[in-house]
Amino acid sequence: MPAGNLELESRVAVIESQFLQLRHDLRNARLVSDATADALDALRDEIVRLRTRVYTVASSMLVFGGVLGWLVELLIGGGR
- The per-residue pLDDT for range 45-70, each reduced to its tens digit, is 999 999 999 999 999 999 999 999 99
Which residue would you say has higher pLDDT here, 79 or 60? 60
Phi, psi dihedral angles at 78 (to 5 degrees): -70, -25
| Segments in the chain forming alpha helices (H) | 3-77
| pLDDT greater than 80 at residue 80 | no
Query: How much of the chain exceeds pLDDT 70, in percent?
Result: 91
| pLDDT greater than 70 at residue 72 | yes
**Per-residue pLDDT, 3:** 64
pTM of the model: 0.60
